Structure 1
Amino acid sequence: MSTAVLAAPFQAVFDANSQEFSLVGVIRPRSVDEIAHSITEFRRAIDEARGVLYINVKRLAQMNNTAFHAFSRVVLDACRTRSDIRFVVVTSSVVGWTERMFRHLGKIEPQITVEVYDSKFYPGQSFVEDTSFIPILRAQTKMTWRHERTILPRHGMRPGIAMADICCGIGDFAVLAQKEFQPARIVALDHSKPSLAYAREVAAEFGVTGIEYTYGDASEMLLEDNQFDFVTCRHSLQIFNQPELLLKELYRIVKPGGRVYITNEKNSHCLGEPRAQSIQWTYNELARLLSHFEMDVELGPKGRRYLADAGFDDILVESFMITNLDGDPQDFADVIAGWEKMFAAMAARHGEAPEFIDRFRQGFRDHIFAALHPKGYAGWPIWAASGRKPL
């Protein structure tokens, strides 16, 4: 059971089931009396907790010294009267000041620790954020856009809407959406600072203004509820170890009646001819390898279930195949070469044997051969799905 205490513009919530006390929003009281109710609830949470009480400040946008000292005093007093309880303050790199502010409490009391939530949440993030992969990401968007520009209107994209592109990466999709569909507002959010820096360069290069690039954690966004008509999250659920948490946030920020649009892959269905067997083996092994990094690159066809479980209705699902016949085959070959480099590095990191890595690499090279062969065919399947937030 959860109890919510509203003291605009912030929210204090205690979830007794998970023993978690959350602080959300902006807490800037002029005196402690203004937050007295929340302090009382905090004390109640401590009284009820057994073992560990989590103090969640992942979405705490601001907190002044008056509030910080009031909540800290309660924690420190509890440490001195109860040796049976530990406090874990859960922060996020997105709101890095919370880690700095709360960290010194752990130096005062060993019963208090601070964990940076997103430092362990994305096991494969360092590979995905490698800036050398940026040209490949641009080529991927170029190839998928040929299909998505006709798909998007069926899923709710239209001029004049408020749109959010969550996990926007290097920002090229947001730029294309702005130029093609002219939404009234676009917020583009990502957890990678290098990607966002590059995104701003791309926007400047194309002379696009009006895109609000925002640093944020997609699973704990500092965005208000019910503010977007259309929310996109492309090729991203598949690389997070808890996609249901991302969908919960996407559901929260989209307006009732608005739609959330996701794209994901099923990598074991990548194909090529000639050398089909080698190609198939590598992509089957890729799906297995990435599962060790808690990525599900088989998620594509599961999109309908994930959207339904998140509470969406009027779910629309379709798939399309990127091929070497979509424009310049060399673009596709370059993308596959980028995959080989990144995924071979991940195989080495996982400790795969050299002979495995050699065979693994060969499958990508055979896929490139198929893509560039004058009679060859190479394919990469993608599932697009969207759901409506009920009115």
Structure 2
Amino acid sequence: MNADAAHHTYAVQFDENNQEFSIVGSMRPQRAEDLAACAALFEKSLRSVKGNFYVNVKRLVRLNNIAFKVLADMLVKASGERPDLRISVITSSVVGWSTRKFATLRNVSENIVIEEYDSEFYPGQAFVEDSDIIGLLRTQTKMTWRHERNILPRHGVRPGMAVADICCGIGDFAVLFQKEFNPSRLVALDHSKPSLAYAREVASDFGVQGIEYVYGDASELLLEDNQFDFVTCRHSLQIFDRPELILQELFRICKPGGRVYVSNEKNSHCLGEPRGESIQWTYNEVAKIVAHFNHDIEIGPKSRRLMLDAGFSDVMMESFMVTNMDGDPQDFADIVEAWRDLFVGKMSSMRGDDPDFVARFRQGFDDHVFAALHPKGYAGWPIWVASGRKPL
């Protein structure tokens, strides 16, 4: 059901299978009576549910006081009439006021609970939002950009495009992209506030203007359909437990005929010589420990299938190897040392690994650093990139 566009633009629907009543858009009525159709659907939905009733407002981006009073009255009335129900209001931190506003209802009825669904956005979120990882991300982009600046045009990038960089992290890729390809518009979105703050500083330091930095949830983008000629999402599907949701959103915001570009890893294929056996063992264990936290750092070669399943056509795919020979070998060693601190110092500790395992696990990273810095050594980190076209 769509609302009257003269005063507000929103849509409400009820998913019977999930017992979820959802509101999307902007709800700013002039009178309470303007929401009569919404209230009627809510009442109808209420009659058909048992147990848990979900009221999803995580994509309700605007709400005036009249609308909030109507929704609050509906929820409080429902909690009184149906004491058998647990009414869960699903909010999002992306819409800053949402949780604070609806949280007041917890004081009215114990049957109403507020769940900020992205408060634990994905398992292990703290690892990739840790400010200590910023240096690692900058060095990684420095080394991958040498390859990607030549790869991107093969996947359709041209000057003057409207571009979105979803899961932009610290924004250094967006800055490089802006300088190299001069897009007509560039939106850089991430769910980490520290990363976005750093991204704005980077752009300011380098005098780069025109990048729109946006705080957002990649699986529930507050961006309209069919906006962008080219959409990027780098090293991110591998750290979400449901990457298909991200691809659905990338598909939605891409214009028909435009392309979505993703990059991901298969960490068990990291390699090095000398001490190759130790290095191989450790990176096989990296894949397992990441899987323990519901990430898939082996997802790189799966990208083509995932994109086809998401509805993309003309899927292109290639891979490249970042090595200790791409510039200064110390850069590669710095990346591995940061990985060691993340996987051994944090993830392994949280998983509760025993000291013997931790020592061997750590040694493989140290051996990878040794290979990177050895005058006759070779160390590699493979990346898969894929892009698909949104059908016309």
TM-score (norm 1): 0.97
Aligned position for 2:375: 374
**Matches of 1:359 and 1:141, distance apart in 2:** 29
1:102 aligns with 2:102: yes
How far 1:170 sits from its partner (Å)? 0.4
| 1:33 Cα deviation after fit | 2.1
In structure 2, what is the Cα distance between the partners aligned to 1:171 and 1:358?
35
Q: Which moved more, 1:172-181 or 1:127-136?
A: 127-136
Partner Cα distance (1:7, 1:289) in 2 = 51
- Hey, what does 1:155 align to over in structure 2? 155
Q: Indicate the residue corresponding to 1:303 in structure 2.
A: 303
Matches within 5 A, 1:227-266: 227-266=227-266
Q: Does 1:5 align with 2:2?
A: yes
2:94 match: secondary structure: helix
CA contact (8 A) 1:7 1:35 kept: no
Secondary structure of the structure 2 residue equivalent to 1:297: coil
In structure 1, give the amino acid aligned to 2:295.
Answer: M
CA deviation profile, 1:242-283 (whole Å, cap 9, x unmatched) = 111111111111111111100000000000011011000000
Q: Could you tell me which amino acid in structure 2 is paired with residue 182 of structure 1?
A: N
Deviation track 1:299-329 (CA, whole Å, cap 9, x = no partner) reads: 0011111111111111111111101111111
Distance change in 2, residues 1:389/1:283 (3 Å) = same
Taking every aligned residue pair, what percent have the same amino acid on both sides? 63
TM-score, normalised with respect to structure 2: 0.97
* AA aligned opposite 2:373: L
Deviation at 1:129, TM superposition (A): 1.5
- Letter of the aligned partner of 1:5 in structure 2? N
Q: Report the Cα offset of residue 26 of structure 1.
A: 1.1
Residue equivalent to 2:76: 76
How far apart, CA to CA, are the structure 2 residues paired with 1:35 and 1:80? 21
Q: CA deviation at 1:6?
A: 4.0
Matches within 5 A, 1:121-270: 121-270=121-270
Aligned length: 388
Aligned position for 1:29: 29
Tell me, yes or no, if the aligned pair for 1:121 and 1:241 is still in contact at 8 Å: no
Partner of 1:57, secondary structure, is: strand
Question: Following the alignment from structure 2 to structure 1, what is the Cα–Cα distance between the partners of residues 201 and 104?
Answer: 38
Matched, 1:283 2:283: yes
- 1:41-52 superposed matches below 5 A: 41-52=41-52
Deviation at 1:133, TM superposition (A): 1.6
Structure 1 counterpart SS, 2:53: strand
Q: Does 1:390 align with 2:391?
A: yes
Report the equivalent of 1:358. Answer: 359
**CA 252–6 in structure 1, closer or farther in 2 if over 3 Å, else same:** farther
Query: What does residue 58 of structure 1 align with?
Result: 58
SS at match of 2:115: strand
**Aligned with 1:94: secondary structure?**
coil
Aligned partner letter, 2:298 = E
Partner amino acid, structure 2, of 1:96:
G
Match of 1:111 in 2: 111
CA distance in 1, matches of 2:251, 2:55: 24
Q: Kindly indicate whether the alpha-carbon contact (under 8 Å) linking 1:5 and 1:13 is maintained by their aligned counterparts in 2.
A: no
Kept after mapping to 2: 8 A contact 1:5/1:38: no
Shift of 1:24: 1.1
Q: Is the 8 A contact 1:370 1:378 kept in 2?
A: yes
Question: What CA distance in whole angstroms lies between the structure 1 residues aligned with 2:3 and 2:185?
Answer: 29
Over the aligned positions, Cα root-mean-square deviation in angstroms equals 1.1
The residue type paired with residue 51 of structure 2 is G
Cα distance between partner residues in 1 of 2:119 and 2:355: 30
3-state SS of the aligned residue for 1:54? strand
Distance 1:27 1:329, change over 3 A: same
Secondary structure of 2:372's partner?
Answer: helix
Unaligned runs of 5+ in 2: none
Q: Partner residue of 1:18? A: 18
Structure 2 distance, partners of 1:135, 1:69, is 47
| More displaced 10-residue stretch of structure 1: 117-126 or 60-69 | 117-126
Q: Distance in 2 between matches of 1:7 and 1:240?
A: 36
